[in-house]
Amino acid sequence: MYHRIFFHFFCALVLSPLFLESNKVKIGFFPREISVRGVELSVYNYADCNETILQNESYIFYINCIHRVYDGADYIQSSQNMFKERFKDRFFECNSFDEVEQIIKEKGIDILYNQKMGAVDKHVSKNCKNAVHAVFNKLEIHGEVYAT
């Protein structure tokens, strides 16, 4: 299932004439937080496939504002470690979206993939194209590519 969604998002942007000239596209992935929920797993899989299938570079950004402990075990740390081990120095813990924007600018990120509820919010980059994947609220279309 996730391969189909992945294909639609990235073919729409990556295969556009703007990106055909370059060898690798830098795509930022923004799951908002790192926890044990499904968003993190799908974002991890999309970012991994972006590199292994499309041969692009993946960057992961999250805002360190929520830290949950489930059943006395710290699953957040294990989830963070999974991302760190795979993406190494392309995994960024940020304090705000302004910090995400700064890194996008510094690293020359081409596209920000943002999996979220779907409502318009402040998490749309001004420094690159935005691919918004709305999970729930599907009526507030924004970004260059918007899918549900």
Q: What is the pTM of this model?
A: 0.77
Q: What pLDDT shows up at residue 7? A: 52
- Using only C-alpha atoms, what is the Rg of the chain? 15
| 140 or 39, greater pLDDT | 39
Angle between helices 38-52 and 75-87 (to 10 degrees): 10
pLDDT at residue 124 greater than cutoff 70: yes
Split into its structural domains, the chain has a count of 1
**pLDDT: which is higher, 132 or 88:** 88
- Asked, for residue 43, whether it belongs to a domain, the answer is yes
Any domain includes 40 = yes
- Domain of residue 45: give its range: 2-6+25-147
Return the closest-CA partner of residue 113 out of 45, 16, 38.
45
CATH number of the domain residue 73 falls in: 3.40.50.620
Tell whether 132 is covered by a domain: yes
In a domain, 20, yes or no: no
Each as own residue / partner, the long-range contacts of residues 105-111 (CB below 8 Å, 24 or more positions apart, any chain) are 107/26, 107/28, 107/59, 108/26, 109/26, 109/27, 109/28, 109/59, 110/13, 110/19, 110/25, 110/26, 110/27, 111/10, 111/13, 111/14, 111/25, 111/26, 111/27, 111/28
Instruction: Give the pLDDT score at 75.
Output: 65
In a domain, 17, yes or no: no
